[in-house]
Chain A
Amino acid sequence: MKEVEKIDNLRFKRRSVLKASALGVGALVSPGVALATPAGVEKSIASLFGGRVPEAGRVTVKIPPITENGTSVAFMVNVESPMTLEDHVVRIAVFAEENPVPDIARFELGPRAGIARVESRIRMNGSQRIRAVAEMNDGSLWSGYAFSIVTLAACLL
């Protein structure tokens, strides 16, 4: 089993129930497709932001706590920032910890945005955390996350 089993007791049990059931989500993964892991997301963040490590805070991610279908999950990210010329969000990167590919989307803002809030709809390949990292104009990085229990996985079913 992958690192996922160390992370969250609930998710581990759900995964074994799913695998034991007729659905057998794990069995349907195409050979050779490695899923992302939380460690993989850390690597993506490091490569995107030149090794800098984000600090937790200022970033709020909102997704429903339970999702019946992972193909279209309402998603919102909001960053606390005055959005002035001197102090604004430059970009926001959103990651999934257990999708086939960790990157979901990247948004470029700036002082003309007014407020640093973006909404969209995303695909989730099972219950997992969605993480967002915001880069400010002074180079500082902030991050936040939210978790959703996904009844029907999006990508590999």
Chain B
Amino acid sequence: MLMIRIKAPSKAKKGEVIELKAMIQHKMETGYRRDRYGRQIPKDILRRFECIYNDVVVFRAEFFPAVAANPILVFHTIATESGTLLFKWVDEAGVESYDKVELEVV
């Protein structure tokens, strides 16, 4: 189970630009490191990230091995309506990790 940290406002005014922060625990193994026996540690990274706001994708990211371990993203979206913000990461095997927060828009 991957630990996820989300920082998002719980309330916002309609039309307000809100800042969203999302961090996930992941080694983002580049494939270049070697273990203590000299064997190459296989590449294993998160490939994609999506922020879905009430079924609409409002932000997407594609990661390459140069994204640091335990990747963090800070991005913005306009508070349009009350609802759910879903934060989803997908790794190379297609395994998804996600967390969601509720947003109240007044």
Contact = CB atoms under 8 A, between A and B. Distances in A.
Given A108-B61, A118-B74, A119-B74, A100 B32 contact: yes
Contact of B68 (A33, A71, A99, A103): A71
Contacts of A15: none
Given A107-B61, A110-B58, A112-B77, A121 B71 contact: yes
B66 interface: yes
- Prevailing SS type, chain B contact patch: strand
Contacts, number: 93
B78 interface: yes
Interface residues of B, number: 27
Nearest to B16: A114
A123 B75 contact: no
Nearest to A71: B68
A101 to B, nearest CB: 6
Given A105-B63, A108-B61, A119 B30 contact: no
A73 interface: yes
Contacts of A21: none
B53 interface: yes
Given A96-B66, A113-B78, A118-B73, A106 B53 contact: no
Interface string A146-157: 000000001110
Interface of B: 17-18, 30, 32, 53, 56, 58-69, 71-78, 80
